[in-house]
A = this chain, B = another copy of it.
Amino acid sequence: MPVKLIENGYGKQAVRLVTVRRGPERHELQDVTVGIRFEGDFAAAYTEGDNQGVFPTDTMKNTVYALAAEHPFDDIEDFGLALTDHFLKSSPRASSVRVDLTQHLWEPIEAGGAVHPHAFRQAGSERRIAQVTRDRQGARVLAGLEDLVVMKTAKSAFEGFPRDRYTTLPETADRILATAVQATWRYSRPHVAWGRFWREVRQVLLQTFAEHDSNSVQHTLYAMGEAVLETVDVEEIHLTMPNRHHIPVDLRPFGMENRNEIFVATPEPYGLIEGTVRRG
C-alpha cells in the first residue's frame, strides 16, 4: 500500500541558558529557555533511516550556548534572530527554522536602601516570550508574554446571555474577573526597540484590564487588544485568557449572607477565551 510522509518537523526543546555579564557597576542576568524546530527536506531520515541531512538536536543545543557566548544580547528577539540565521546557514536541508524563547524575569534585590549589584529575586511567574520564524525569504518576529496573572474585584459583569434547558448560571452585575493573560503580537516594523516596546505593551494590557468596564472576558480581551494597537506600533495581537472562576460561597445554610465577599477559587473547569485583533 502506498504511504507517504506529508509533514515533518523536529528540534530541541527546553534548552536552559543563563548568562551573566559582569559589568563594573552591576551584573546583568539573562535566564532563557529556548526551543528550536526545523522543517525542511528531512524525509529520507523518516523513510530510509538516512541521517545524512539530519542536523542533530544535540548540536542545536550546543549552538545556543556557543552563540550566547559570541553574541551577548539584551533582548530575546535579537537572540532568536541570530539563532535562526545561524541555523539556516548551517543546515542546507532546512527550509524553515522556528525558535521559541521564554525569558524568566529577575530583578535586583533591594538591600540597605540600594539596588544590589549582583543579587537577584525572581520577579514572578510571568514570563516574556518571543518567537522567531525564518525561512529562505526572511524572518518574522512575534513578541509576547505569558502567565501575567491578574484579578479585578469590581467592574465585571456577565449578563444578557441566552438560556436553554441546561442553563443554571445566574446573571451577575458584579463578579470577580481573574485570568492569566497570554499574549503574542507582531510589531508594525521588522525591528523596534524590543525592550521598550515590550514594556509599553505590557503596561497597556495591565492598565486596560484594570480600567475596563467588563461585560465579559471577551469584551475585556478585545479592549486590551484594541488599546495596544492604538497605543503602540503593533500590527496584530493575539490574546488567550482563561476565565479562572471565583464562585461566591452560599452561606445561607449557615444563616449568613454573602455580600459578594467570600469566594472559592476553582481550578477546573475553566473558561478559555481567545481572539486576534489587527489593524484594518
Residues on A close to B: CB < 8 A? 1-22, 27, 29, 31, 35, 37, 42, 45-59, 61-63, 65-66, 68-70, 90-91, 106, 109-112, 116-125, 148-155, 158-169, 176, 206-207, 209-211, 214-219, 221-222, 225-226, 229-230, 236, 238, 242-243, 246, 249, 251, 253-256, 258, 260-280
Contact = CB atoms under 8 A, between A and B. Distances in A.
5 contacts: A8-B218, A18-B246, A55-B162, A56-B169, A168-B253
Give the 7 A-B CB pairs with smallest separation, nearest first: A49-B215, A124-B124, A119-B210, A14-B268, A122-B149, A46-B222, A49-B219
A145 to B, nearest CB: 12
B51 A159 contact: yes
A217 to B, nearest CB: 8
A255 B22 contact: no
A249 to B, nearest CB: 4
Given A10-B274, A261-B22, A160 B50 contact: yes
Nearest to A21: B261
Contacts of A253: 62, 168
A219 B9 CA distance: 13
Nearest to A15: B269
Given A65-B251, A169-B58, A176 B265 contact: no
B216 A161 contact: no
Given A166-B59, A222-B47, A68 B158 contact: no
Contact of A5 (B46, B148, B275): B275
B176 A20 contact: yes
A278 B4 contact: yes
Nearest to A219: B49
Contacts of A230: 1, 3
